[in-house]
A and B are shown apart, each in its own frame.
Chain A
Amino acid sequence: MFRKILIANRGEIAVRVGRACREMGIRTVAVYSEVDRHALHVRCADEAYLIGPPPATESYLVIDKIIDVAKQSGAEAIHPGYGFLAENPLFAERCEKENIKLIGPSAHSMRTMGSKTLARKTVQAAGVPIVPGTVEPIATEEEVLRISNKIGFPVMLKATAGGGGKGLRLVKTEGDLHSSLRMAKSEAKSAFSDDSVYIEKYIENPRHVEIQILGDQHGNYVHLCERECSIQRRHQKVVEESPSVIITPGIRAAMGKVAIEAARAARYEGAGTCEFLVDKDRNFFFLEMNTRLQVEHPVTEMVTGVDIVKEQIRIAAGERLSLRQEEVKQTGHAIECRVYAEDPDNNFLPCPGLITSLRTPGGPGVRDDSGVFEGFEIPIYYDPIISKLVVWGKDREEAVARMKRALNEYVVTGVKTTIPFHIRVMNNRHFLEGNFDTNFIDKVFFPEERERELPHFEVAVIAAAVQLYLGERKRAIAQRPVGTGEPVSMWKYSGRPGMPKIL
């Protein structure tokens, strides 16, 4: 087993990985940029190294600097977390060359799954159902038209190098094809310097369901069941849960089996996730494989009892998987809400800044994977995630009630957060019924919210009026001319800490 691990990340995920290391008796090495000296991941680590200025391109993304710290500190392995260098094959190759173990898959696996078309081709050959379309980039507009007509409009044009919703175009009819193709190509060119695109059939109102897998270096694989991630805004997941209300034991087993086949086809090692789209008839199609630890991994940990980060570390150290497929049990129900420093009542505008006070939720079945503390200033340079609030309940009903309760306990002041948004989602009738798809937030939730009557206007105005009244009174006292105020005994001040003694 490793004695020392470098964590090449920051924020909540660096803290999460550090926790696993500590519990395993492994020393941790943190890296930090100039704005992160006070950050929680630095405070929690055994060693910490400054790696440069605040912009990630000059610190957390610089391969040379990370490798230097690994050598200097004598770390035998690097955990990349998610984001930053986590899915960068160049980084994986460099680690191999320097004889430092990267906790994650090989550069080969990353490349296979990183190219959308190569991934489609690879998993299709392994018998995994993919969204109908092409497995090669398409050269000409005539070919795009021919294939689109064959699979039927609407279709999606997608950048081969794609990600983050860039280079993505929905084409509803043949007439839109020309301009959409041009836009998809130019967007792909500027985002990924690669303008190749491919075609997929557009699945209407799909649900997003993914399978967590683990694979060791000895060719053993297990899947840890599914996570439902259909609650998204701007193509970004915000609420995740396990199990999914639409997945039956039969579908679960079938999805798990093909996810393992996909991983095997890429000679995958470590923790990974196969994302699927599920249509309204519950047909599932492979979308892509994420070759890293996912943000939402705690949901799976809560229902299976498996510590995914510890498994990653053991796998990287060459150990065999600690459990067999028949030992994987999904118990109860878990939900995660991602708490971001964003203003949900102002179009999710980012709200970096100082956390002036904080009360985190507790009680039965609650887990808060946080990267902040009271007095921490959230920098403007990185992802605005504050924490991931995760709850477990014996069934979905209890989990939702518990999440609502925990969200109500969660108080963050100084910055706006998405906590109020999550409370409203937990109260939404369609969410409670499990009746939603990836368009839910934009097409159903927000229109309904605009119509909803708010129950406590009176209390809101009263609280504001009392605050304003006290503010005015305080100002009036401060502005009072000297001598007219009530006399204050000097004895009152002397002896108080921080006050000069009156001699």
Chain B
Amino acid sequence: MNYIATIGEREIKVTVEEVGVARYVVTGDGKGHLVDAHQVQDSVWSILYGTNSFEVDVQRRGDDYEVLIDGDCYKFTLMNEQLKALSRAGGKAAAGKALVTSPMPGKVVKLLVAEGEEVKSDQGVIVVEAMKMENELKSAVAGKVKEIFVKEGEVVESGAKLLLVE
């Protein structure tokens, strides 16, 4: 199967081929490597890369990956090659619309905007408190506040829809 990894500006084609139980040949940048990969503990993988042993924590949110190895955090996106081609074609329709979601479970302390209000890109729209700390969340796009899904004082889960800017 073919994938596209995007690291900053750079795109790399990655191919995964299953060659045995938990064994794969992974080709990236034209070079193939034999990899022995076992999911050992929830999101943690034990990877034997050649004979080098790595413990790797793979965190995924949609196509965005944050991978921890030896305390370093590797951030990139990874997509199926075909899906990526599809999303490129349909990508334009989604632009200009942005859902603000809660990155953590917490309590809505304050709404900084009202429905119908114009907001700028990067403007703070809502304050969510978790563990005694207040965090101001921003709108990713400029536009009008279309809908607010929560009330002040409400307890929200991680990933909860807070408001929609269009």
- Identity of the chain A residue whose Cβ is nearest the Cβ of B49 in the assembled complex: A459
B28 touches A352 (CB 8 A): no
Chain A residues lying within 8 Å of B158, measured Cβ to Cβ, are: 353
Which residues in window 30-64 of B have CB below 8 A to A? 33, 35, 37, 39, 41-45, 47, 49, 54-60
Distance in angstroms from B80 CB to nearest chain A CB is 7
Chain A residues lying within 8 Å of B59, measured Cβ to Cβ, are: 416
Instruction: Judge whether A173 is part of the interface by a CB distance below 8 angstroms.
Output: no
Interface string of A379-422 (1 = CB under 8 A from B): 01111100000000000000000000001100101101001111
Chain B residues lying within 8 Å of A349, measured Cβ to Cβ, are: 103-104, 135
Instruction: Judge whether A469 is part of the interface by a CB distance below 8 angstroms.
Output: yes
Q: How many angstroms from the CA of A407 to the CA of B104 in the assembled complex?
A: 24
Task: Name the interface size band of chain A.
Answer: 35 or more
A462 touches B28 (CB 8 A): yes
Distance in angstroms from B10 CB to nearest chain A CB is 10
Distance in angstroms from B19 CB to nearest chain A CB is 12
- Identity of the chain B residue whose Cβ is nearest the Cβ of A468 in the assembled complex: B78
Distance in angstroms from B17 CB to nearest chain A CB is 9
B41 touches A413 (CB 8 A): yes
A457 touches B105 (CB 8 A): no
Are A384 and B65 also in contact (CB < 8 A) when A411-B41, A467-B58, A468-B3 are? no
B131 touches A381 (CB 8 A): yes
- Identity of the chain B residue whose Cβ is nearest the Cβ of A345 in the assembled complex: B73
Q: Which of A359, A422, A467 contacts B41 (CB 8 A)?
A: A359
- Identity of the chain B residue whose Cβ is nearest the Cβ of A356 in the assembled complex: B42
Interface string of A453-484 (1 = CB under 8 A from B): 01111111111111111001000000000000
Distance in angstroms from A102 CB to nearest chain B CB is 25
Q: How many angstroms from the CA of A467 to the CA of B37 in the assembled complex?
A: 9
B72 touches A424 (CB 8 A): yes
A353 touches B71 (CB 8 A): no
- Identity of the chain A residue whose Cβ is nearest the Cβ of B22 in the assembled complex: A466
Q: Which of B33, B67, B68, B130 contacts A352 (CB 8 A)?
A: B130
A464 touches B65 (CB 8 A): yes
Are A461 and B28 also in contact (CB < 8 A) when A345-B73, A414-B42, A420-B71 are? yes
Instruction: Judge whether B1 is part of the interface by a CB distance below 8 angstroms.
Output: yes
B16 touches A465 (CB 8 A): yes
Instruction: Judge whether B165 is part of the interface by a CB distance below 8 angstroms.
Output: no
- Identity of the chain A residue whose Cβ is nearest the Cβ of B36 in the assembled complex: A466
Distance in angstroms from A380 CB to nearest chain B CB is 5
Chain A residues lying within 8 Å of B66, measured Cβ to Cβ, are: 345
Q: How many angstroms from the CA of A420 to the CA of B7 in the assembled complex?
A: 20
Q: How many angstroms from the CA of A105 to the CA of B98 in the assembled complex?
A: 54
B73 touches A465 (CB 8 A): no
Q: How many angstroms from the CA of A359 to the CA of B55 in the assembled complex?
A: 12
Interface string of A345-361 (1 = CB under 8 A from B): 11001111100110100
Interface string of A161-172 (1 = CB under 8 A from B): 000000000000
Q: How many angstroms from the CA of A408 to the CA of B72 in the assembled complex?
A: 11
A459 touches B68 (CB 8 A): no
Instruction: Judge whether B142 is part of the interface by a CB distance below 8 angstroms.
Output: no
Interface string of B76-119 (1 = CB under 8 A from A): 10101000000000000000000000011111000000000000
Interface string of B126-144 (1 = CB under 8 A from A): 0001111101000000000
Distance in angstroms from A236 CB to nearest chain B CB is 11
Q: How many angstroms from the CA of A424 to the CA of B71 in the assembled complex?
A: 6
A465 touches B5 (CB 8 A): yes
Q: How many angstroms from the CA of A12 to the CA of B165 in the assembled complex?
A: 42
- Identity of the chain B residue whose Cβ is nearest the Cβ of A382 in the assembled complex: B131
Q: How many angstroms from the CA of A359 to the CA of B78 in the assembled complex?
A: 28
B71 touches A427 (CB 8 A): yes
Distance in angstroms from B162 CB to nearest chain A CB is 15
Distance in angstroms from A191 CB to nearest chain B CB is 13
A462 touches B35 (CB 8 A): yes
Which of A414, A457, A465 has the most chain B CB atoms closer than 10 A to its own CB? A465
Chain A residues lying within 8 Å of B44, measured Cβ to Cβ, are: 357, 411, 413
Instruction: Judge whether A151 is part of the interface by a CB distance below 8 angstroms.
Output: no
Across the A-B interface, the 8 shortest Cβ-Cβ residue pairs: A423-B71, A460-B74, A460-B67, A413-B42, A350-B131, A357-B42, A469-B16, A420-B71
Q: List 16 A-B contacts (CB under 8 A).
A: A380-B105, A382-B132, A408-B55, A424-B71, A455-B72, A456-B72, A458-B28, A460-B56, A460-B67, A461-B78, A462-B33, A462-B37, A463-B54, A465-B78, A468-B78, A468-B80
A357-B42, A413-B41, A461-B12 known, 6 other contacts, Cβ within 8 Å? A356-B42, A411-B57, A423-B70, A460-B67, A461-B5, A467-B45
